Structure 1
Amino acid sequence: MYEHYQQLQNQFKAVHKEVDQLRASKSRPGELRREIGQLEEESQQLTEKIANLKKKSASDPGFQELLAATSALRKEQEEQAKLAERKRDQMLSLSLAEKRAREAEARLQDLRASLSQDATPEQLFERLQSQVARNNDILTTKFPAEFRTQQETLQRLERALSEPPKTEHDIADMEDEVQALRSTIQQYQAQIADAQVAQGSGDGEDKLAVFRQHANLQARKLAEKEEELEQLRADKQRLLRSTEELEAKLASISGSKFMSRDEFKQYATTLRNKTNQYKKVKAELAELTAESVVLHRTEQLLKSKDADLEGFLRDLERQKGVSGFLATQDKIDDVSVQNARVNALKGETLEEISRVVTDINQALKERKNQLAPQIKELRTVRQRYQEMEQVYLERKAQYDHTAVGLEAERLKLEQECAAFQEDALREESQFHLLHCQLQLQQGKADKIAQEIEFEQGTSNARLLRDIRSFQELYKHKVAQQESLTKELRKQQKALKTSAPAKKQQREMFEGLLHLLSCKARLAQQDNQKNGNANRNGGGVGGVGQDMFDGRADIAHFDVGGANVMTLEA
């Protein structure tokens, strides 16, 4: 009893977990029911299509062979698609593995280079810092750029998928455009080759730069046109959607184009009433026609008795005060005749409509009689369908229950696998780190052993030709740096000592140069004013001209360690 209680308790826990997982999932019962209903409808449609195809192909003798061949072809195509997908995944995995191998090989070469060279810890630290900076640069620059590129590609593909399918005319236009662009590129390439052959290497490079600039301009224009084309396509899609919405609204306002059953019955009742009314009016019309014949005969007899009947009638109308009565009566009779003709046409139309209605009713009766066996069979099939649906729902409930349990187990295994993989990666990283540290310490230990060997002098080994050990090498470098520091300090002191005098001399020379420039400018102005007399007389303008037209020499010489400039005529 207690074991049964524990089993029930464990079963309750498992069911409770499954319910929590189902609640946490994004799927909703209403959506699932709609999807199930849609799938059932599609399944029913497919079943009907298959049954129709079987009926049509039952009389075909070679259908089974064709079916076997198409089934084999479909299986081969599915297998080919699976193999292509597997090949693509393996190629992607191969490229990733090669990339990781190249990165690992580069790191290995860096480590070997650092171990093979006699590098100090500071140099190793700087090298690691540069590697970290390079990795940061890749992380902040290269990866975001690749991510943006992939996003743009994804957006472009989504736009391409959202566009309507291309017609053959659109494809032909695009192929013509591509062919035109290819011909243009070939022309440009031919022009570039001709220019390089004709002008040589130097001129060819200039021409090539011009053509490149032109090609870049054309590419930019092409990109602008493509953007404009994309915008126009988006506008076209928006207008098409707006048109469809307006058409849907118009259809909802205008209503159905065909009469319903009730409307048809009402129309048939109205038609029968009008037919009965037409028959009554037709009988009255027959009576009136007979009476009209009698009256017409009477009129002829009266006209034969009195030749001037019309004059007599006009006089009689004038006496009675109703002039124009007969003319008006004739017009009324003409209108009555025309109305009778129209009514006759309407009667014929109504008879035609009644005959059509009778034919339709007869056709409906015949169709009902033809469909009666199929309706009976449909009821049987519907009952069998309900039974199969009940079995299907039970099996589907079992499947869903099993699928939920397996999905939960799969998620648990994936989580455990991910945790184990993280542990393995962490241990591998720690191993590589410790291995590198071990190699560094081993290199330091080897260096210390060499230094001890050099100091003890147990062998004739030396670090360099004139230097025995690392200690002597570092002392020699320290001495060189100290002597270089002393020399630089002497030069700094000499520069500080001579700096004020040289600065003052430079300022005086700049003032002198400014003064001479002013004198030369004034002399040129005086020379332009005075004309030929001043040019022949010499004067100040001549002196300025002699001073600045090449007859004055500027000499430099050293006085007390400073550079002195003199002007010699």
Structure 2
Amino acid sequence: MSEQLKFIVEQLNKDPFKKKFNLITFDSLEPMQLLQILNDVLAEIDPKQVIDIREEMPEQTVKRMCSLLGMLKYKPPGNLSDVSSFRQGLVTGSKPVVHPILHWLLQKVPELKKRAYLARFLVKLEVPADFLLDDVIGDTYHQYEELVEGFKTYHKECEQLRTSGFSTAEIRRDISAMEEEKDQLFKRVERLKKRVESLPNHQRMLDQAKQLRVEKEREESLTHQKQDQKNQLFQAEQKLLRSQQQLKDLRQASADASPESIMKRLEEEIKINSYMVSEKLPKELEGMRRTVQYLQKVASEPAMGQADLQDLEDKIKEVDSQINQLIEQRMMRNDPIDDKLTLYRQQASIITRKKESKAEELQEAREKLAAAEKELKQRTSQTQTLHGEEVISGDELKRLVAKLRSKGTAYKKKRQEIAELKAEYGVLQRTEEILKQRHETVQQRLQIVEAEKGISGYSDTQEELERVSAIKSELDEKKGRTLDDMSEMVKKLNSMIVEKKSALAPIIKELRSLRQRREELNQEYDEKKTRYESCAAGLESNRSKLEQEVKALREEIAQKENQYHYINSMSEIIEMQIQRAAEEMKAYVSSDPQERKKAIREVYMKNIAEQELLGKKLREEQKMVRENHSANMEQMKMWRDLEELMECKKKCFIKAQNKVSIGQIIQEGGEDRLVL
């Protein structure tokens, strides 16, 4: 209790209550103050409970608090399980009642806030069934229930979003970053507009660009629609193929099935089901009932000690010995009919065991089939809900695999071509780099020559060209000479390029021959790969056949081993029975009377004689009872009549006494009136 008070005081001193209590001041609170604190805690959980209890009737306070506590699923302690005592404790502000409530509430404030918030919307209004028969009220109540269900779904989505890891700070940062990007885009658009406005026909160009963008978007939508139509067409084709395959299977089944075969199959199913219903299932049910009875009997009995267990083991040993003696006595009779029937009984027992095992296998197979069908339905429903498509069957899967293989070969060829193109692209790129480097060297030489000739920067910028054109009149002679020099340099460069091409020509021819050789090697590789795959498939099929044969031989070996162990155990049992029979014959033929008394025959003869004597005594007693039955019945009837007579006398005596007492009361009343 002290720990409970410490926890309550600590929680009340924290936010949002801030009461500044200690153990002494809290324990010395008046009942009304304690109820007000309880009401403040409830108001923190549910804001509707904010009220001063001095302005409210005690009955209303208790009713309001009890309804809220019931909604919050509060369970009073064991000593306050009575509802009337709990309500009375709330009315009076009893500490044993209020303290556990405060302890429970302060432990789960956030959880209870959530529960109280949800209860405002999820606790349904109780409307009598008679009122719901009205159409308007029924429709309104139905809409109310739909709104409640909608609130549940929205609340779940809200909770998922809260727990999904998104935070408002990250979202605000993303929004601010997006706004900055938006501003940058606006500025860039403005700059582009300013640059475009200087061009002629810029409005027409903008319209053309807008129309181009619209057409591209339309093209994308059309491609999406085309892809959707292709998917739908593919699904329809697959569905048609499945339907055709099912029709083909049904036709084959109907062509192969004759009325006699169908009747035979139905008769076999009926036999199997009748065996399951009439023999197997009743036996299992009876075995389960016996097991349940035995377990109930064991559970109802008191706990057993070591001595009780030892007694039970001794009894078990004694019963086993009696069973063995009975078996030996039965074998001593040497009945030829029983000897002939044992073989048939063994065969019948073997057949019944086989039937039971096959029935169990059939039951397991049916259960597996049902489970597989259920799993198939679940997966088909899941795939349909996820992808909106139907599940592909095995034949369709094989066809798809064949298509994928053909597409895979085509893909490999295309990839090979792409690799060749990439290699050629690399060579061309390298030649381009070399030519660029040479062009740069030529440009550098040209710049040097231009610098030497006084026209530096002529080939770089348009401003230099404009400057050169401005002083054209002054440098006509120099320009002519420079142009001659440039033409000579261009001729030299062309001659150098021709020389390099002639030098590269044999290398390119050799590269072409090597590419052709590579194509031939790739074709040879593909042929050998197909041969390898066919050989591997043949070896795999042979391996599977050999594995099946090995599995069948192992099962046969296991059956033979079981048969061998069964025959060995039966031979050992027969030897033991023969040994016991020999001992019984020895005891029965022995001249010693003590040994002969130990024989099973003598014991059972003695028991039979005792039972016959007991039966004789019981028959004599039965005879005596039958002879005295009529007299005893008459005597019993007389006793009953006497009992009824005495009961009647008793009632008459009681009535007489009551009449005498009433007369005395009347007489005493008359005397009183005379006195008055």
TM-score by length of 1: 0.28
**TM-score, with structure 2 as normaliser:** 0.24
